[in-house]
Amino acid sequence: MTSHAHSTSIRPYVIVWAILICMTILTAAVSFFELGTTVWHLIIALVIATFKASLVILFFMHAASSSRLTWIVIVCAVFFLGILFLLTLTDYMSRDMIPLMPGH
């Protein structure tokens, strides 16, 4: 058996780690700003969280240098996660459409 040892330096990991720490601080800092409604806080936090998750997947899980099959699995997982979010939000948003029946 042949061993495939990847020779990588620690520098990219330290840079990504520093970016993740900065994004965590930014997420906490944004929560203190007055943005009008809480919806904007949620949107900004989710965008930052998506960016952080992408960095973790690409660098720490080595997806950036993975095969095409790994990318297909990642895309399918994100697609089905999107379906789950969509169905959950559809249920949540449509709850007020049915009037409350007396006795139920």
Mean pLDDT rounded to a whole number for the chain: 86
Q: Would the CA dihedral through 72, 77, 83, 85 be positive or negative? A: negative
How many C-beta neighbours within 10 Å does residue 100 have?
A: 7
Q: Is the pTM of this model over 0.85?
A: no
pLDDT in tens, 79-98: 999 999 999 989 888 877 77
Write the DSSP string, 22-70: HHHHHHHHHTTS--SSHHHHHHHHHHHHHHHHHHIIIIIS--TT--HHH
Quick one: DSSP state of residue 103? Answer: T
